[in-house]
Amino acid sequence: MKKYIIYTSILIVGLLLGWLLFGGSSKEETDHNNDKVTETNQMWTCSMHPQIMQPEPGDCPICGMDLIPAETGSDGLLSDQFKMTDNAMALANIQTSIVGSEITEDNIIKLSGKITENEEANAVQVSYFSGRIEQLNISFTGEEVRKGQLLASIYSPELYAAQQELITSASLKESQPDLYKAVRNKLKLWKLTENQINQIEETGNVQENFPVYATVSGTVSEKLVEQGDYIKQGQPLLKIANLKTVWAIFDVYESQIDLFKKGQEISITTNAYPTKQFKTKVEFIDPVLDTRTRTVKLRAVLNNKNELFKPGMFVEGNIKGKSSSQEQALTIPSSSILWTGERSVVYIKSNPEQPIFEMREVDLGNQLGDNYEVLSGLNNGDEIVTNGTFTVDAAAQLQGKKSMMNKEGGKTMTGHEGHLDKEPTGLTSNENHSNMNERIEVSTVFRNQLKDVYNVYINLKDALVKDDSIKVTDEAKSLLNNLSNIDMKLLTDGEAHSHWMALENELKSSAKSISNLVDIKEQRSHFKHLSSHLTKAVRLFGVNEKVYVQFCPMADNNNGAYWLSKEEKVINPYFGDAMLTCGEVKQIIE
């Protein structure tokens, strides 16, 4: 028995020793392997030049400083995705919306339109003889008139002479009946009644002024003459609208035409009566397409005996569309689109819960009012940036992601000279002038107006360098004033006009924010966005002088920030006296 106990004890001790010796070694080996994997995936960067990325430690090819471990992709973002801070989102007023058709689950289509006069019930009151208006009995537009009401009295030399002819021919009607009949018929053509003609013949008195009576009842929608005016035969005097019925006119996009037909029931609502719905039917669909807006007009007639509808009112129509044989094209607002050459891009919000974005190229179709058809590149339900698109694009460029001017993404260095292979801000440098980033040709006057804005920007930048927040506020107000002086009518090219409208909104937003602040730190946060948008404007249009684009990687909490300068020497506006010379020239705009 003792022998078995000893053997069992030796076996247990042996197992325990084996686990301690080999188990720990196995764990150590696993940890070592994990460390090797980690080391293999580790990238190294420079604290002063974060665009440098190398797979192993060493010296920075620009400044010679030791490289430090770069942050790994622990955030789970894909290569083309990038993240913005909540603060940056708020400062730039970035807004998004869901892409989708205007058709609901019940196949109900919402249309926007407005109330107009029923042209079929309208009339134009004309004068049937020439003369001078001696008395006009209509005082104002909107006055109600009844059929047979006296509208005006007119003195007509022609009519005066014709009355004398009638009196003379009446005494000769037995001997010259044809002449007598011709004179009476001439007066009838001038719309004199049988009673009026007989009265002139019987009394032998010539009337100096003749009345004009309303031929229809309705509302005067337009006065075309004034008392004392000389008028010609057939000249319009008044426009009279019968508002007992009105038209509701809706715009239908080209891609939706096959969803509608005459006789469909439509439910109409208006802001004036939000709780009421007015049922009617589609009466007419315009057979001619408006080539400017790429829409056709859909018309419905509304009963207006109670005078609820006023011409000019905006209304919304809900109509159940018939099934379509074609897939409906998506539409997106023009404010969400960035154009560069032949490419059109938008930014989608990849994660609905977080500010994570990604550039997406799209193929556009026809322009539909302020929207564009999307033929490919987006899906129903995608969330896209609709306001602040240029700011999101700037963030993509700063992080080396795909952007409007950087199709492939990524930032690499070509050696010790500091020239970028990929231009992070999409600027045209000396080394890369004849690529896709062509400058838009505009008039010299427009360039000079933009230069005035740029000059004030330089003053604002210099005030930030001196930590003078009051001066910064004043210069921001001056910049806003100069922006207002820029004449967009000088931009005859559609692409130039579209680019400037988007940039102007962003510039005004940033400058206004700076002008309303007194804290220098907050002013610098908005100055970063102001610089980004003005850089794009200078690149696109030019200011007739050389502009230096400078960058500090430590600004904006080490996220980096750009600014513009008139000189090559770096004077940093983001830190004041603390770090005046931090930064370098990234680009030169000729």
Is residue 259 predicted with pLDDT exceeding 80? yes
Q: Where are the alpha helices (DSSP H) in 339-443?
A: 389-398
What does the mean pLDDT of the chain come to?
79
Least confident of 109-113, 141-145, 478-482: 109-113
Tell me which architecture the domain covering 123-241 has in CATH: Beta Barrel (2.40)
pLDDT at 288: 92
HEC readout, 536-571: HHHHHHCCCCCEEEEEECCHHHHCCEEEEECCCCCC
Mean predicted confidence (pLDDT) in 463-470: 91
DSSP element (H, E) containing 399: none
The CA distance from 398 to 414, in Å, is 18
- pTM, full prediction: 0.40
Please write down the long-range contacts of 305-311, taking CB distance under 8 Å and 24 or more positions apart: 305/244, 307/243, 308/272, 308/273, 309/115, 309/243, 309/246, 309/270, 310/115, 311/115, 311/116, 311/117, 311/241, 311/243, 311/246
Residue closest to 483 by CA, chosen among 454, 463, 461? 454
Q: What is the pLDDT of residue 28?
A: 47
Cα distances (Å, whole numbers) of residue 133 to 101, 138, 344: 57, 12, 61
Query: What pLDDT score does 10 carry?
Result: 67
Q: What is the DSSP letter of 131?
A: E
Q: Alpha-carbon distance 359 to 300, whole Å? A: 42
Count of C-beta atoms within a 10 Å radius of residue 258: 13
Find the helix or strand (DSSP H, E) in which 404 lies. Answer: none
C-beta separation of 522 from 362 below 8 A: no
pLDDT of residue 189: 80
Query: Under CATH, to which class is 108-120+243-320 assigned?
Result: mainly beta
Give me the pLDDT at residue 293, please. 76
Is the predicted pLDDT of residue 329 greater than 80, yes or no? Answer: no
Which residues on adjacent β-strands are paired with residue 81? Answer: 358
Tally of residues, the chain: 590
Distance between CA 499 and CA 496 in Å, rounded? 5
Quote the CA–CA distance of 4 and 370 in Å, as a whole number: 94
Tokens of 560: 């980096």
Which of these, 461, 473, 479, lies nearest to 574 by C-alpha position?
A: 461
403 DSSP β-pair partners: none
Tokens of residue 14, six digits: 């042996």
Fold of 82-101+329-398: 2.40.420
Higher-confidence residue: 397 or 260? 260
Sign of CA dihedral 414, 418, 420, 424: positive
Highest mean predicted confidence (pLDDT) among 63-72, 167-176, 510-519: 510-519
Q: What percent of the chain has pLDDT over 90?
A: 18
Q: Give kind and range of the element (H or E) at residue 243.
A: none
Average pLDDT over residues 359-365: 86
Element (H, E) at 373: strand 371-376
CA atoms within 13 A on the CB side of 501: 17
Give the per-residue pLDDT at 564: 94
What pLDDT does residue 549 have? 92
In whole angstroms, what is the distance from residue 392 CA to residue 81 CA?
Answer: 12
Local confidence band at 437 (pLDDT 50, 70, 90 cut-offs): very low
Distances in whole angstroms, Cα of residue 190 to Cα of each of 16, 156, 194, 215, 554: 128, 11, 12, 14, 89
Alpha-carbon span 184 to 41, nearest angstrom: 108
Distance CA 252, CA 259 (A): 10
Three-class DSSP labels, 167-222: HHHHCCCCCCHHHHHHHHHHHHHCCCCHHHHHHHHHHCCCCCEEEEECCCCEEEEE
567-590 average pLDDT score: 86
Cα 173-179-184 angle, rounded to 5 deg: 85
Contact 153, 146 (CB under 8 A): no
Confidence class for position 286, pLDDT limits 50, 70, 90: very high
Query: Which pairs from 430-438 meet CB under 8 Å and 24+ separation?
Result: 430/588, 430/590, 433/590, 436/340, 436/341, 436/343, 436/405, 437/340, 437/405, 437/539, 438/341
Judge whether 210 and 153 are in contact, CB under 8 Å.
yes
Sign of the Cα pseudo-torsion (54, 60, 65, 70, in order) = negative
The listed range with the strongest mean pLDDT (11-15, 121-125, 409-413) is 121-125
**Residue 425: predicted pLDDT:** 38
End-to-end CA distance of the chain: 100
In this structure, the strands spanning 108-117 and 245-253 are antiparallel
Q: Which residue has the tokens 């044989």?
A: 325
| Three-class SS state of 575 | coil
Give the pLDDT score at 25.
Answer: 46
- Domains of the chain by residue range: 2-41, 42-74, 82-101+329-398, 108-120+243-320, 123-241, 444-589
Q: Hey, which residues does 349 pair with through a beta bridge? A: 357
